[in-house]
Structure 1
């Protein structure tokens, strides 16, 4: 009996193993697969019931409970019910006393298997040996309970002979079947997963457009798959079995061998970019390789995949170029077709102040300044739509709110259908250029000190005014304005104070005049005023100008506050009226200039209208300048001497003066030509001429006992003193004439020392080392600073005749005494010029003056007359000596 049940168990195990082999190739998830599995399990149960353990007629025992419970667990409801239905039908067909419990023992394991399956899937129980053992015991216990439905004698017989056999064989059968079916299920699942993986891998391999290679550690081609037949000859099949060194240049083969070695030595995939010559030309590849776990022919190998990235590399190169071009010094903006900003570069942020997050997604209208009218933008977009691009100057707004000028270029980007997809704009901040242009414009047309129009702009406005006055018949006026004695401000307070005064003058002129009038500065202290829209009648126009001129002079006479000093100044004005284009700009300016000089001659602080007689005077001055140049070259200038006496009335020397013996005009005094010489630059040449004549005279006197001890004073201008070769010229003249330098005295004025006091001191010291002495002429009327008296190598002070003329008045006497006290304290001689009366001489002598010069002793005379005069017979208290 036990043997029969054991045979049944073995049969069921074998049949279940066969079932696993059969269903290995069937998809159990499909209805067909589930039906086939259920039929097979049902058939196994039938075969088991055909060789059962039989206790009595109609009372059989087999392993159906184990088979059906596992069928339900692994196959699910469909498999379990099909198998149970087949097994139940067969058991019902067998009939007998145990049919009812037998049918229950078909239904019960199916339900128990499904319950176990449900609990397992919900995670309530595990499918392992302990839980499976408990499940098998529970199934057998329920089978025993079902058998209680047998007649008592039959159940007693079962309990006596078969119950222990049932538990002993069917519980292990359930365990064994569960593990067997689980293993079969796992194998089937793994096999399906492997098939799926292989299919997926095959699909991926076929879909990937990469060149695939398997190469061993020696660089031998083992497998080749080329998606493009033109990348390798014959699709690469001719390379199989060959090594890299057989088919590639050595340098490139070594590159790949190093790559293979690096891949074999690493757990991670390795990458490489390389160029390779292919049948379709030089191409760029990106390779990726990984070490294979399996060996090929006993050698390590790598899987090598290479992708043709030639087009991508070219695109990347173009993108890099585009990125570099995008990040230029110009601001760049990319928008969509609706002008919403998509991208900006760093230069845009630098120029506008907007960060990318501030503007991306916004309309470009946010950058507008509002300066351009809508018509401007309409025209701009019309050109962009028609021509595809636009460029020009535009005003935009920074993030700070500042409006700035920029040069903007906009280009439209179109797709293949010609539709606009984007706009690309480049912008350049031209603020500095505009500022530079304005500065250049200002420098070209405006005075840098006062900001007034300069000569160029004045000429332009003057031409326009002349043309306008001709059309409307109204008079215009041109006024030349020159500050009186402005040089004294520079001399006394320095050029910075002078510049500040000029700026205040410019401001007063502008505030006094009308808006339509022009105030210009020509340079120095010369201003020009142009009045427009005057009355059409000349008398009324002149009255208007006179009224305006009076207001100007009154305004300019008001005190000025300059560097903590209160200064007073006046101006001389010259006026010319015009109302047509009969006279050009140069003529008008010349006539106004002449009028101004006429105002100066009339005593300054005056207004003078143009007089044709002034033109004649100018012409005479020009002719005189021309004659001077000729006269210097032909020796027409002659030396005159004025004696210098001591306090005893004895002759001590003379001052060398100049006269011009003009061929047509006769003997001319210095007052008629010195100013012209200074303005024309001939003064230095004239001074040098007199110096040479004086040295020749001293050399001649040296041989005459009556004159050998006399000194000769020669005037020296600033142009001559500051000439680069002045000292060399003096040395040359002394050497040529053999004059005694100790008898030579150079007279310089105070104002001459203001240009460069340090340089003047150096030159004077160099000449003093030769024996030449120096005298300050017109002392007290100019700079009169104690500083230069200490610093300069002076020998003598000459009291100006303006102080001597009014002696013995108390105020003048006080000044004379102060000058002499100052000179004596510094060890300097004092000489007074302009002595014309005995009273003047007496006062000067009584107060310590040592030397004298003036008409009291003699007028200037020719050298021959000077030498023929009996100076030793001069009485001490004589009246006028002539």
Structure 2
């Protein structure tokens, strides 16, 4: 490792400088590569960054034989070594060093290398040599002891370090200056060194003065020359370094230290990684030392995050980003990366320290939560919320081109599939539709599911590939119509389906998200009305109609609250001209609009469901009028026909409501005639027949209105419990001039006769029309020839006048 490999901050740099007497080296057993610190290179008179070819290259030849087996044994069994040897510097000069080594192990305890330190020491020899060395060092502490370890001389520095003057130390044993727990061991080492004439060396804590002393001795004839050094600072530095290195090595977070090089190509070089880096990335330390951190990047690494780091490094400030990195095996992972600069005492940038925490699980959880919040569970498409976010972004961001198209897609007759084959196959179809829709758009366009069988596509002109929104939307719509028109293979079933598409464009004028959605929806319904399996573009005229309908619906609600509705009655007469009944007709007198035609407000009432309470009110009013006429002999023969809308008839409580109002007003049920439209036959015919049967059982008369213009079917007609067919005014109007209308009228009359049903014609305005109908067998009429619709008071007066005109 490098001497600055553990640098994290300025304090650590200071510690490394204080410990500069040590040169550190490392040997990888797998690679055989040796790395040196700059301090070790300086001991060998080598330039910074120098590394030898092999571990023993600069050891003096005569000392290799004793160091090589120690190195080999340490690499094999982990046995540490401590040996004094000579090294040959690059300038040819020899120096004595103390070489220490210990094994490096991985997380499983296997030996992966040897690391150690070298410290330049005085050469062993005669005391005169040591004393001359001491003289040259000036301020160091020196002393001599006899062969029993008693002090025979001390210089002032030695007295200072031992905390006592020479008068008290002379004759005192060397080891007695240290704490009792180590005195025996120091004495044994001293006597062994004297006996063998070997160098004597130890470091111990002087408990009295709370400092560490290094003691080196060289034997001579009369005893031993002693060199004393206060190594407290070095010991503290070494302990802190060992603690720091041990802590960093065992961190679960990844630690990478790089040199302070520029961030461009090839970028700063890695000088240190910890064990967590090796575990989490799969790279060995030897594989990455000297290389750029770029080796951890891959295809999905965020360029924006890298630019953020680059900008911070150029300004010598910290940066923190979430980044996708890649392991050695190519597997991506998320890392929360904190990059900090390291300065020396002169505020010179020396290194960058990157600490990364693997946050892959957190990111995956966030992505899952985001997917649940913003994506449809069935189709995996963006949901309404994500679509709205993207729409707002497309309209609100001035930096992006605000042009594009919004497309609404609705499957035709999807309900039939769900009702006949079940929701499981319906869900399968929706998944297949989602896949086909994705294949019809470019990357970056949004395909979303709103719910049910409704899908939305957002086409954006992002500027990188400009397109005309109208042309692009038309091309995409054509692809969708073709793709969704292909058959779908469902389990045990080949399904054919089509879709209707509505398109609105944005970018030419300011529109809100809500307005765009409404416009696309309107265009889609226009495509439905145009016959399905087609595409329609929104236009302002369509919006005007919708706005008018919306205003009409609002006025309808107010009209219902303020009792603006009334009922007019139009007489129905027999062939003799006498009244046989009336039809109740709903009228709306608006305070500003005036009299609103029924063909304008009845559809709006149907759409808003107001037709249900309004229909109840008309039915109740008609029955009340029948009850009033039942008390008058000249009126009790009259019937009242009431129109019933499809929505009102299909209400679950309709039959019960009719029965209730009949009982409430105590009327004869056969005087109440319910006029039903042919649109009831379009769907749910069995339910319709059952309800009509219940009404028939009550005694209520049933008439089929507007016969011949809707969903007539003879197979249905013969099953309906009807009393009457009503010829629509559209056929009566041109019955004398249009052969087709005349033929239809004849057919309806003939059909009624064959089914034993009464028949009535509405819209009769001339004597000629009445005569023609009478000749064909129609004997009941309604129209302006007889009387226009009248309020009840005017109707009563009309009845009275008619009675006066009839001969007694």
- Bigger share in helix: 1
Q: Same fold (TM over 0.5)?
A: no
How would you bin the TM-score normalised by the shorter chain?
0.3 to 0.5
- Bigger share in strand: 2
Q: RCO greater where, 1 or 2, for CA within 8 Å and sep 6 or more?
A: 2
Query: Could you state the TM-score of these two structures normalised by the residue count of structure 1?
Result: 0.40
